[in-house]
């Protein structure tokens, strides 16, 4: 594990560096507080730090305050090295948001124990961050397909419409429905139905650009948000999505089956944030209905360019 050692005294710095290296740490050394703050706030910087209290440019407490002022990045566990032993000085260091302190000269066993505590706290913090991100993902993504869920894809659509208004661009929406999906479930079983939904999700993601968005709108329906897609490009982009589904067979646990998709599409331009999005989704849904009525496995674009 990387650890930053900041000390302006070369002799003390070298002795401490050797001690840390014997403990298995990858040691990064700096001579002043400004360099320490730069290293600790850099992307991928050390997450453990031993900072001498008295240093040029920034002292130890000032380094702590600068590191803590970041609004992003992983947590850094900071131990202050000090010859100060008064309660007032210790309180001052801790109030600067240092995590711990060591009195110089350090006893190797005490240093090892305190660094072990720091590593344990960082591991716990990582687990909390992982749990938080997992909860956030589950709150916004469909459990089966891992696509955006209905609420999240609609929120994302609103966000992209607001951005397109500022940039004087357009957003196109594809409302997609798997043809005869009930028959897939009835003939092959719900497990195969789930396999089809997962494969459809993968193919739709592959058919769009990385900055487009695909969500599960409900059941066998999917909503695709195409950023910056004009009315002139809409049919081509929608056809790419349709052909991604019907272009090759689906391999399932019950054998190979053919799947197709019908799509209703609409382009929205100059959207006002006070407008509801439901009328536009209704137009896409009506276009989807016409695609189904016309024989399925096709794209119908709504006639209206919303402006």
Strands of 183-297 (E only): list them: 213-218, 221-227, 250-252, 255-257, 261-269
Cα distance between residue 252 and residue 184, in whole Å: 11
Of the listed 220, 221, 232, 239, which one is catalytic?
Answer: 220
Surface-to-core class of residue 293, CB atoms within 10 Å of its CB (0-12 exposed, 13-18 middle, 19+ buried): exposed
> Which 3 state secondary structure label does DSSP give 155?
helix
Is residue 184 over pLDDT 90?
Answer: yes
Sign of the alpha-carbon torsion through 112, 101, 53, 61: positive
Residue predicted with more confidence, 118 or 272: 118
Q: Which helix (H) or strand (E) holds 188?
A: helix 181-188
Q: How far apart are CA 225 and CA 211, in angstroms?
A: 9
Task: State mean pLDDT over 195-207.
Answer: 97
pLDDT in tens, 91-130: 776 788 888 888 877 788 888 898 999 999 999 999 998 9
Mean pLDDT of the chain: 90
Considering only residues 104 and 150, tell me which one the structure prediction assigns the higher pLDDT: 150
User: Which of 62-66, 83-87, 88-92, 280-284 has the lowest average pLDDT?
Assistant: 83-87
Query: Is the pLDDT reported for residue 306 higher than 50?
Result: no
Residues 51-60 pLDDT 10s: 998 889 988 8
Q: What is the pLDDT confidence band of residue 84, given thresholds at 50, 70 and 90?
A: low
Domains along the chain with CATH numbers: 2-139 (3.40.50.2300), 150-306 (3.30.70.270)
Q: Between residues 90 and 64, which one has the greater pLDDT?
A: 64
Contact (CB, 8 A) for 5 and 50: yes
pLDDT at 177: 98
Nearest to 48 by CA among 20, 10, 86: 20
User: Please, which pLDDT band fits residue 307 given cuts at 50, 70 and 90?
Assistant: very low
Instruction: Out of 25-29, 165-169, 195-199, 220-224, pick the least confident.
Output: 165-169
Whether residue 165 is predicted with pLDDT greater than 70 in this model: the reply is yes
Under a CB-based contact definition with an 8 Å cutoff, are residues 262 and 295 in contact?
no
10 Å CB burial of residue 180 (0-12, 13-18, 19+) is middle
**Rounded Cα distance, 80 and 60, in Å:** 7
Per-residue pLDDT tens over the stretch 248-263: 999 999 999 999 999 9
Residue showing tokens 């948000």: 225
- Whether residue 220 lies in the annotated active site: yes
Distance, in Å, from the CA atom of 61 to the CA atom of 238, rounded to the nearest integer, reads 58
pLDDT of res. 106:
79
Cis amide bond preceding 287, omega within 30: no
pTM of the model: 0.72
Give the percent of the chain with pLDDT over 70. 95
Helices (H), 43-173: 60-68, 87-95, 108-140, 150-167
pLDDT of 195 reads 97
Q: Which two tokens stand for residue 234?
A: 């809409």
- Model confidence at 9, pLDDT cuts 50, 70, 90, reads confident
- Whether 274 has a pLDDT exceeding 80, the answer reads no
Q: Is 52 left (phi over 0), alpha (psi -120 to 50) or beta?
A: beta
């Amino acid at each position: 594990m990387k650890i930053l050692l900041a000390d302006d005294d070369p002799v003390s710095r070298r002795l401490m560096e050797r001690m840390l290296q014997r403990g298995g740490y990858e040691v990064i050394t700096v001579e002043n507080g400004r360099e320490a703050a730069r290293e600790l706030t850099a992307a991928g910087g050390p997450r453990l730090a031993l900072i001498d209290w008295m240093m040029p440019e920034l002292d130890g407490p000032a380094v702590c305050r600068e590191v803590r002022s970041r609004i992003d990045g992983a947590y850094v566990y900071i131990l202050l090295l000090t010859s100060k032993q008064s309660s007032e000085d210790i309180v001052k260091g801790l109030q600067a948001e240092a995590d711990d302190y060591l009195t110089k000269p350090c006893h190797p066993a005490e240093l090892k124990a305190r660094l072990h505590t720091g590593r344990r706290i960082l591991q716990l913090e990582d687990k909390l961050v992982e749990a938080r991100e997992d909860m956030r993902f589950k709150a916004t993504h469909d459990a089966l397909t891992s696509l955006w869920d209905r609420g999240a894809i609609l929120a994302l659509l609103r966000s992209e419409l607001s951005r397109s208004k500022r940039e004087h661009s357009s957003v196109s929406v594809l409302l997609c429905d798997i043809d005869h999906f009930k028959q897939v479930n009835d003939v092959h079983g719900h497990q195969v139905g789930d396999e089809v939904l997962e494969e459809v999700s993968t193919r739709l993601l592959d058919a769009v650009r990385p900055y487009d968005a695909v969500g599960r709108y409900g059941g066998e329906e999917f909503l695709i948000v195409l950023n910056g897609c004009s009315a002139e490009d809409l049919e081509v982009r929608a056809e790419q999505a349709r052909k991604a589904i019907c272009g090759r067979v689906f391999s399932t646990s019950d054998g190979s089956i053919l799947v197709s998709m019908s799509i209703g599409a609409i382009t929205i331009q100059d959207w006002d944030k006070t407008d509801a999005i439901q009328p536009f989704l209704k137009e896409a849904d009506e276009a989807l209905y016409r695609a189904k009525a016309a024989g399925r496995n096709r794209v119908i674009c709504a006639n209206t360019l919303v402006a």
